[in-house]
Copies of this chain bind each other. A is one copy, B any other.
Amino acid sequence: MYTGALTIVAYFFLFIISTLHDTQQIMFSVPKLNVFERIILASGSPRRKEILENKGGLSNLIISPSTYEEENKGLVDKLDVYKYITDIAVGKVKQVALLDKSKMDGVVHTKTLYIGADTIVFHKGKILEKPTDKKDALSMLKEFRKDVDHQVCSAVVLLVFNEKNSTSQDQFEIHSFHETTDVKFTSGLSDEILEHYVDTGEPMDKAGGYGIQGLGAQLIESIHGDYYNVMGFPLYRFCQELNMFIETLQCKSLFL
């Protein structure tokens, strides 16, 4: 009787899984996406995966996290921020593309799109990444509750191998962009509330020490820009820039 009930639950579970698979849609705002046979995301972030799969409708996304080392530059000029995050995203995606090539004995798969991304929080001239510990997370959150906005900045890099060139210098076709969203925390948050939030454990794996898509939503009064950029991947701009990238590749007689 007990096993029978569990079997029914299992069938229900499998049914739900199969339904989810069936309803996956191709990314409708990028009509020529089918020029790519494989799409590889060079990031282990579950949030980027969720945005591309559930909001972007991208089925069959391949996840290949990069081990590229980042180095926090601390205080920087605002313009340097974009170069900093773009360099990291380029580093990540190149590493993953070359690893993919080496797995295929040096033969490139030309119809593969590789995607790299990096996201940081920028506040008062300082780059904030993942907190080192609970104290660090609390310190970031206390800064954010003051009455100025902070910025969430992402860089995204699109990369394909260029089959017409084979030297290490020009073997890639690369297109990059960056996106910024202003975030305003509420100013009336008590130390007790912030400590309670840090105790949930949510801040620890997130740039800036909060997750807008989780319990951190309770702390945020408003944003100006793309919500998904704050979550870690600027979906709207990605669709637009990907359309442009495909046009460029086709103009260069790649993917024809």
Contacts and interface: CB of A to CB of B under 8 A. Distances in A.
B219 A29 contact: yes
B14 A9 contact: yes
Interface in A224-247: 224-228, 235-236, 239-240
B13 A55 contact: no
A29 B247 CA distance: 48
Interface in A190-228: 192-193, 196-197, 200, 212-215, 217-228
Contacts of A56: 215, 217-218
A3 B225 CA distance: 50
Given A6-B7, A200-B28, A220 B236 contact: yes
Contacts of A220: 226, 236
B224 A227 contact: no
Contact of A7 (B10, B54, B192): B10
Contact of A235 (B3, B14, B28, B218): B218
A31 interface: yes
A57 interface: yes
A226 B222 contact: yes
A65 to B, nearest CB: 22
A218 B55 contact: yes
Contacts of A213: 55
A186 interface: yes
A11 interface: yes
Nearest to A211: B55
A212 B236 CA distance: 11
A196 B28 contact: yes
A254 interface: no
A26 B220 CA distance: 18
A248 interface: no
A189 interface: yes
Interface in A66-110: none
Given A6-B11, A220-B236, A227-B227, 5 more contacts: A6-B14, A28-B218, A29-B218, A31-B192, A181-B222
20 contacts: A3-B7, A6-B7, A6-B10, A6-B11, A9-B10, A27-B218, A28-B215, A28-B218, A31-B192, A31-B196, A54-B214, A55-B218, A56-B217, A56-B218, A57-B215, A57-B218, A188-B240, A212-B227, A223-B224, A223-B225
Closest 9 A-B residue pairs measured CB to CB? A10-B10, A55-B217, A6-B10, A28-B196, A29-B218, A227-B227, A13-B13, A9-B10, A222-B225
